[in-house]
Structure 1
Amino acid sequence: MRTLLTALFTFGVIFISAAQSLDQYKYILIPETFEFTGEVDQYRLNSMTKFLFEKEGYITLMKTEEKPADLRQNPCLGVTTKLENNSGLFVTKLVLKLEDCYGNVVFSSEEGRSREKEFEDSYQEALRGAFESIKELNYQYEPNANISANVPLPKVVEVDEVEQPEEEVEEEVQEIMVEEMNEEKEEEPTQEDAGTNEYRYAGKTYTVKETAQGYGLFPENASEPIAILIETEGGKSFIYNSLTNQGIAYFDSQNNLVVEYFSRAENKKVIIKYERID
């Protein structure tokens, strides 16, 4: 009995520690391609990972998209998503891991499993299984003083100690830091700078608005988007993510918005073209 109580207590301490360690991180960074896959968002694992994290209240970012100002200043506010593939011949096995800015694993999920025969179905089922460990954490961001203070050092300026007095060196470093801060402010997009374009599909008008994450697809007079477009490959294509479908999107030579995804209900690939309104 004592052994059982000890085991339960130990598991409880480990579980609480994991929850607290994730609560202190503000952002989840997701790669466009996991190490064991060969294509961007293959099997829709990357877009599904983003969707599942956001469903649990996390702020997610694709690693290639523009970072918020606080994350640019302090990369340690975010953790990077890794998927460990332990699959065998008949069973797909995935473990979800999160690494801090130093490459240390701060969270490792239980192993998600699937016996589905189709690769996409099996990987997605295994990923959902691994996410059960995330659900149990009841994440709520709580700033940690140690992480918040972990700001990268400013650039070191090499100077000739004989020819340049120490006071001048300090002034030069301060000027460089001020210039870098001003550059960051200039790079941050504002609402006035964001592009807005109108498109038409099936007799309805939609608006594509540029955001920090990429683009949002808004129905006419709607305040919430029906889908988000996450930039990949330097803006040449996007991960399309709606409540019901995940796929890819891109702007063609006429600047029409083309969306492609696989419809399970119709069991076929669907292509939708939102025509640009000039």
Structure 2
Amino acid sequence: MKNTFFLVAFIIAFSSTAYSQKSLSEFAFVVVPQQFEFQKGKDQFRLNTLTRHLFSNAGFNAIYDVEMNNLPRCEGLYAEVIENSSFLSTTVTVVLKDCNQNVVFTSAEGSSKEKAYEKAYQEAIRNAFKSLEVLAVNQGDLESYRERLSKEDAPSAPIQMRPEVKKSQSDEQMASKKLPAYVFKGTTYLLEPNKEGFILYKKESKSGGFSEYGSLTETSREGTYLFVKDGKSHLASFDAENNLIIDGVDEKGKPTQNRYLKIKTE
């Protein structure tokens, strides 16, 4: 009976949104908020990280609002997760809207009877995404789209650019800067502040020098940074002991936290 109910709900949701299959692919990206309305805090239960990951797996260019930069608002979709829970189960719906707040997609309800809130919400969201995964959305290459926009918006007069950070620096050069050091999985990292936030350097095992590993940019939320590496971004922050915490996903696609331990000095 349970499977029959879900199948009916799935067919209704799919039928009501089948017309938008092509248009979903024509949008350039989908914006995932860092906090849904029903949450009590940013990325509570790692739901926003999970939602972004699931959108990416379903063929969307999923970004947070702080990553939009020069992207045109009306070229994107805006995601919401709506809670419809009852006493016996946790139930959510994934909704996509355009820049004018028009609903262009509503998923089938995803439910879970798990008692633990984190497991329940994560399972419910994964179930709701099943009606998105069958649409075979393909939003194309977002980085190429950004580059095309940058060329179109480039001013005729030259502008002063921020000096490019050296990709690799010797151990002696980095030691002279007396930067805070961190260790993660046996590898040493150094954190250098700049105007936007920080640059994270990784020690190379062969040369012994340090190469640029990623960057941390301040967001509108105090204490929260956007960590960017190889074109991919995750949220980052510092804990009470000044350890660096960078969000990520494990090999099974589950949200996780990578803890870079601060090396204490005398």
Map of 2:174 onto structure 1:
none
Map of 1:135 onto structure 2:
133
Name the CA distance, whole Å, in 1 between partners of 2:212 and 2:133. Answer: 25
- 1:90-139 superposed Cα distances (whole Å, 9 cap, x missing partner): 11110000110000011111110100001111000000001111211111
Question: For this pair of structures, how many residues does the alignment match?
Answer: 212
Query: Is contact 1:99–1:107 with CA below 8 Å preserved after alignment?
Result: yes
Q: 1:51 deviation in Å?
A: 1.4
Query: Is contact 2:61–2:139 with CA below 8 Å preserved after alignment?
Result: no
Name the CA distance, whole Å, in 2 between partners of 1:92 and 1:240. Answer: 32
**Tell me, what secondary structure is at the counterpart of 1:40?**
coil
TM-score (structure 1 length as normaliser)? 0.58
Q: 1:249 deviation in Å?
A: 2.3
Name the CA distance, whole Å, in 1 between partners of 2:78 and 2:104. Answer: 10
Map of 2:223 onto structure 1:
236
Query: Is contact 2:113–2:120 with CA below 8 Å preserved after alignment?
Result: yes
**Tell me, what secondary structure is at the counterpart of 1:19?**
helix
Query: Cα distance 1:116–1:11, how it changes in 2: closer, same or farther (>3 A)?
Result: closer
- Cα root mean square deviation, aligned: 4.7
Map of 1:205 onto structure 2:
188
Query: Cα distance 1:198–1:113, how it changes in 2: closer, same or farther (>3 A)?
Result: same
**Tell me, what secondary structure is at the counterpart of 1:192?**
coil
Query: Is contact 2:31–2:77 with CA below 8 Å preserved after alignment?
Result: yes
Query: Is contact 2:14–2:131 with CA below 8 Å preserved after alignment?
Result: no
Query: Cα distance 1:198–1:271, how it changes in 2: closer, same or farther (>3 A)?
Result: closer
Query: Cα distance 1:248–1:66, how it changes in 2: closer, same or farther (>3 A)?
Result: closer
- 1:143-181 superposed Cα distances (whole Å, 9 cap, x missing partner): 9xxxxxxxxxxxxxxxxxxxxxxxxxxxxxxxxxxxx96
Q: Which amino acid aligns with 2:134?
A: E
TM-score (structure 2 length as normaliser)? 0.61
Say whether residues 1:110 and 2:108 are aligned partners: yes
Name the CA distance, whole Å, in 1 between partners of 2:117 and 2:67. Answer: 31
Say whether residues 1:258 and 2:244 are aligned partners: yes
Name the CA distance, whole Å, in 2 between partners of 1:111 and 1:34. Answer: 16
Query: Is contact 1:240–1:249 with CA below 8 Å preserved after alignment?
Result: no
**Tell me, what secondary structure is at the counterpart of 1:29?**
strand
Query: Is contact 1:194–1:209 with CA below 8 Å preserved after alignment?
Result: no
Query: Cα distance 1:54–1:11, how it changes in 2: closer, same or farther (>3 A)?
Result: closer
Q: 1:100 aligns with which of 98, 103, 113?
A: 98
Q: 1:250 deviation in Å?
A: 2.4
Name the CA distance, whole Å, in 1 between partners of 2:51 and 2:59. Answer: 13
